[in-house]
């Protein structure tokens, strides 16, 4: 589905990248509040769901070639985080849903796990 669909399903705000959300394709997602786990287990092209708000979120997205970030639990990313995302062209969404609800809604709509289980 498109990121615009994700926005609708999660009743999310677009913090950055309004003009991109109709283009960015979301097939898989990875949800975590531990960046090392994302680095260890996520595959590229996933949508990243997190409650972290610091600029390392964007660095991680860049290192792994993820497609965008949804901040869950209503978290507002730090200003530096948004600035960095703008420079790198990474779309940012924010939802008031908790992580579980966010994952559940997306899964129900057909988004698959970036990785089913760890080795």
Partner 1 sequence: MHPVQFYHIQGRDFHNAGRTSTTIKRFLREKEYPPQVIQRVAIIAYEAEINIACYTDYGYFFLYFLGDRVRIVVKDRGQGIADIDQAMQEGFSTASDEIRKLGFGAGMGLANIKKNADIMHIKSMPGVGTVLEIDIMVNSEGRSESMGTTLREIMDRANLENLTEGLDLATAVTGGYAGDLLSDVNANSSAGNVWVTVLTHPNVTAVAGLKDLAGVIIAGGIRPGADFVEKAYAEKIPIMFTEMSAFDVVAMLSTMGVSGNS
Closest contact distance (angstroms) between CB of 36 and partner 1 is: 4
The single-letter DSSP state of residue 115 is: -
Closest contact distance (angstroms) between CB of 19 and partner 1 is: 23
Q: Which is nearer to partner 1, 18 or 62 (CB)?
A: 62
Q: Which is nearer to partner 1, 36 or 108 (CB)?
A: 36
Q: How far is CA 110 from each of CA 1, 20, 49, 78, 106, rounded to the nearest angstrom?
A: 8, 21, 16, 30, 6
Distance from C-alpha of 12 to C-alpha of 50, rounded to nearest angstrom: 14
Q: Which is nearer to partner 1, 7 or 114 (CB)?
A: 114
Closest contact distance (angstroms) between CB of 4 and partner 1 is: 27
Which positions lie near partner 1, rule CB under 8 A?
33-37, 39-40, 44, 50, 52, 54-57, 59-60, 62-65, 80
Q: How far is CA 96 from each of CA 13, 19, 39, 44, 58, rounded to the nearest angstrom?
A: 9, 22, 25, 25, 20
């Amino acid at each position: 589905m498109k990121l615009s669909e994700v926005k609708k399903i999660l009743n999310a705000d677009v913090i950055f990248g309004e003009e991109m959300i109709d283009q960015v394709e979301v097939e898989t997602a990875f949800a975590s509040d531990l960046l090392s786990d994302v680095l260890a287990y996520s595959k590229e092209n996933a949508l990243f769901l997190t409650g972290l708000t610091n600029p390392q979120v964007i660095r991680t997205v860049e290192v792994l070639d993820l497609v965008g970030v949804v901040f869950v639990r209503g978290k507002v990313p730090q200003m530096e985080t948004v600035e960095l995302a703008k420079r790198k062209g990474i779309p940012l969404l924010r939802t008031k849903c908790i992580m579980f609800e966010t994952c559940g809604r997306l899964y129900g709509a057909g988004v698959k796990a970036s990785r089913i289980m760890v080795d």
